Structure 1
Amino acid sequence: MKSAVVTIKELSFLSGYSISTVSKALNNKKDISSETRSTIQNIAKQHNYIPNNYAVALRNKVSKSIAVIIPKLTEGFYSKALCVLQKEADIKNYRMLFYQSFGCEKKERTYLNSLNDGSIYGIIVISDDDSKINDYANYTMPIEVLNIKSFYTDDQIQLGSVQSLSKLLGA
């Protein structure tokens, strides 16, 4: 089954222009004519073209996405942290992806390894294990550990979550 998402390659076919020219038109580059740019942009609009944010992030080496690895979403104290992180990420114009490790270190490592491809800005690992802070030195991307205990108050969870995101983003 073919995807409903229109790609630059498909826009190239539909417009009759090269992929390079389509890319330039969609990025408002001035080295193509305004007529060509307008034609391609109209075709893109007709087909509801949406840029692939991950491809853009890889090309520009800048991503506005962060990942959060959480042990178990159904634990109230973890879900509170996730809620705060989501709200704060939205305020800072970052998208958030989350992954559940279910407390499995192997699953956590698999996520970390697959996310280390440049498609995201950084990762927040939520944990109740104080020793995790030193586990991520070998990764090239920013990783922040948000340590949360089950007995933390809502205020402590909120403060820790905000601080963790700010530290990850360098703010």
Structure 2
Amino acid sequence: MKSSAVTIKEISSLSGFSISTVSKALNDKLEISKTTREVIKTIAKQHNYVPNNYAVSLRTQKTGSIAVILPEVTKTCYSQSLGHLQKTAESFGYRILFYQSHNSYTKELNYIKSLSDGSIDGIIIIISEKSKQIDQYGSHAIPIEFLKINLDQSIEEIKHRSHKSLIELLKS
């Protein structure tokens, strides 16, 4: 068995089917017979085929990724919020990428700028009560949701606010 994942092109070569047929089979298109789909999927499984997330996101216009920018992961309230955001996001089929700003407004803006390249579906910025006003972040091409967390908030309130922020982001 090959140790690294193969591409659709390599599966095409191995199976004798066209690249288009392989792609359709791997995406369960009904125009490809069940037998052909099974043959192609067996070869893909034997060779550790993993779909190219970049190609899939280009086709679907969704990356399945959400960025979370937080002040400090070592602060309990922020790490609890991050944990709940991840759990909730995964239940909706999303993954979380997180970034620490270390309470730097400039870092937050730089993260927003670099993440606005289409590599994620949205951003949640966890801010403290001491943070700059939300309207100072300006408008961006990517959906952004702000989540205000206080250091003395209860776990239940953090969960509630985190869940609400993620749902709002997914609606946009």
Normalising by structure 2, report the TM-score. 0.80
Instruction: Give the superposed CA RMSD.
Output: 2.6
Q: Where in structure 2 are the equivalents of 1:5-24 lying within 5 Å?
A: 5-24=5-24
Q: Which position in structure 1 is the counterpart of 2:108?
A: 108
**Is the counterpart of residue 51 in structure 1 residue 54 in structure 2?**
no
Whole-Å separation in 1 of the counterparts to 2:42 and 2:158: 47
Q: Which position in structure 2 is the counterpart of 1:75?
A: 75
Q: Where in structure 2 are the equivalents of 1:17-36 lying within 5 Å?
A: 17-36=17-36
Unaligned runs of 5+ residues in structure 1 are none
How far is the alpha carbon of 1:151 from its aligned partner?
2.6
Q: Where in structure 2 are the equivalents of 1:103-142 lying within 5 Å?
A: 103-128=103-128, 129-142=130-143
Q: Which position in structure 2 is the counterpart of 1:143?
A: 144
Whole-Å separation in 2 of the counterparts to 1:12 and 1:72: 47
How far is the alpha carbon of 1:68 from its aligned partner?
0.8
Q: Which position in structure 2 is the counterpart of 1:170?
A: 171
Whole-Å separation in 2 of the counterparts to 1:110 and 1:12: 42
Unaligned runs of 5+ residues in structure 2 are none
Sequence identity percentage: 52
- Structure 1 30/158 Cα, relative in aligned 2: closer, same or farther at 3 Å? closer
Say if 1:58 and 1:118, in contact at 8 Å, map to a contact too: no
Whole-Å separation in 2 of the counterparts to 1:91 and 1:99: 21
- Structure 1 141/43 Cα, relative in aligned 2: closer, same or farther at 3 Å? same
3-state secondary structure, aligned to 1:131:
coil
1:138 partner amino acid? S
Say if 1:72 and 1:100, in contact at 8 Å, map to a contact too: yes
Aligned residues: 169
1:81 partner amino acid? S
How far is the alpha carbon of 1:100 from its aligned partner?
1.9
How far is the alpha carbon of 1:24 from its aligned partner?
1.6
- Structure 1 28/156 Cα, relative in aligned 2: closer, same or farther at 3 Å? closer
Normalising by structure 1, report the TM-score. 0.81
Offset from partner CA, 1:71-93 (integer Å, 9 cap, x none): 21111111111112122223333
- Structure 1 111/7 Cα, relative in aligned 2: closer, same or farther at 3 Å? farther
- Structure 1 67/54 Cα, relative in aligned 2: closer, same or farther at 3 Å? farther
How far is the alpha carbon of 1:34 from its aligned partner?
4.7
Larger deviation, residues 80-89 vs 36-45: 36-45
